[in-house]
């Protein structure tokens, strides 16, 4: 079956520093890998995705890296801001356009 | 309008009550979802509607009954719930079924007493 895990439950960074959130997965048949952000009292918000045939994708202040060899996904946030404080979930979509499976989440705390 | 709205925000119900959760989107999305999220846990998929037809039921107990009256509305009817059903119920929508980019509402915080 699919399982998605995160290395650290809580990550604390200083404002302005770069943040790296990691995620391990087991289902190599996934076609998409996705990061969602969930702020307190809100639903998850899509951040960025990456197809399984890519190893890097950049967005605005965010970069997602995919290492299929070791089944590892990471989200890098540049110049972390207080507004980035949230729980970050990695998710994957099984091949064949199946439902999303969410990982257990990492809480990012940005210290002023 | 890029918003998914959910009502009510909070709901407390007894185990013998019948209640409904409502979800609405006006983005023209053709897929809508119900997720359940327990505290400090990730969202878990319950149901998927695609073009107003139920396409996925993740083995959800029959005390949860989804309904999609039209492409903009999604309901979740609740009956004879258990205290362990207390959770945040999230609605989401996407342009097509099982799209990776889903738009989530703020959720309904349900407490079953």
DSSP-assigned letters across all residues of A41-80: TS--EEEEEEETT-SEEE-SSEEEEEETTTTEEEEEESS-
**Residue A5 pLDDT grade (very low, low, confident, very high; cuts 50, 70, 90):** low
How far away is chain B from the Cα of A88, in angstroms, using its nearest Cα? 10
pLDDT of amino acid A93: 93
Which candidate from B43, B58, B100 shows the least CB-CB separation from A34? B100
Give yes or no for a cis peptide into B107 (omega within 30° of 0): no
Beta bridge partners of A35: A48, A90
pLDDT of amino acid A1: 42
Beta bridge partners of A63: A58, A76
pLDDT of amino acid B98: 83
Compute the distance between CA of residue A50 and CA of residue A63 in angstroms, rounded to an integer: 10
Q: Are strands A106-111 and A86-94 parallel, antiparallel or unpaired?
A: antiparallel
Residue A29 clears pLDDT 50, i.e. is over it: yes
Q: Could you give the C-alpha distances from B60 to A84, B44, B50, in angstroms and in order?
A: 34, 11, 17
How far away is chain B from the Cα of A73, in angstroms, using its nearest Cα? 16
- Residue showing tokens 């809100």: A42
Which candidate from A43, A99, A103 shows the least CB-CB separation from B56? A99
In contact, A47 and A55? CB cutoff 8 Å: no
pLDDT of amino acid B31: 96
Chain A residues touching chain B at CB-CB below 8 Å:
32, 34, 41-46, 49, 89, 91, 93, 97-100, 102-105
Compute the distance between CA of residue A16 and CA of residue A112 in angstroms, rounded to an integer: 9
Sign, CA torsion B59/B60/B62/B65: negative
Contact B90 A104 (CB under 8 A): no
- Kindly list the averaged pLDDT for each block of 10 residues, start to end, along chain B of length 113: 91 96 97 96 96 95 97 97 98 92 97 97
- Residue that wins the pLDDT comparison between A96 and A69: A69
Q: Could you give the C-alpha distances from B101 to A10, A83, B68, B96, in angstroms and in order?
A: 25, 21, 20, 9
Name the least confident of A14-18, A22-26, A59-63, B8-12. A22-26
- Residue showing tokens 């039921």: B57
In contact, B75 and B59? CB cutoff 8 Å: no
Q: Closest residue of B to A102, CA-based?
A: B42
**Residues of B whose CB is below 8 A from A98:** 98
């Amino acid at each position: 079956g699919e399982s998605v895990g995160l290395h650290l439950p809580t990550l604390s960074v200083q404002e302005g520093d770069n943040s790296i959130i990691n995620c391990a997965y087991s289902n190599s048949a996934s076609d998409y890998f996705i990061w969602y952000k969930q702020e307190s009292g809100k639903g998850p918000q899509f951040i960025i995705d990456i197809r399984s045939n890519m190893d890097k994708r950049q967005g605005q202040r965010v970069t997602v890296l995919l290492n299929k060899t070791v089944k590892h996904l990471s989200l890098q946030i540049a110049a972390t801001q207080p507004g980035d404080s949230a729980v970050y979930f990695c998710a994957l979509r099984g091949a064949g356009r199946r439902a999303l499976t969410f990982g257990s989440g990492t809480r990012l705390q940005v210290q002023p | 309008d890029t918003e998914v709205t959910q009502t009510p925000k909070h709901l407390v119900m007894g185990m013998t009550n019948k209640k409904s959760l409502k979800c609405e989107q006006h983005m023209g999305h053709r897929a809508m979802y119900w997720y359940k999220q327990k505290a400090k846990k990730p969202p878990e998929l319950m149901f998927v509607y695609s073009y107003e037809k139920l396409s996925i039921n993740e083995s959800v107990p029959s005390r949860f009954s989804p309904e999609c009256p039209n492409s903009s509305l999604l309901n979740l009817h609740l009956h004879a719930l258990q205290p362990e059903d207390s959770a945040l119920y999230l609605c989401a929508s996407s342009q097509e079924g099982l799209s990776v980019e889903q738009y989530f509402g703020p959720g309904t915080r349900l407490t079953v007493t």
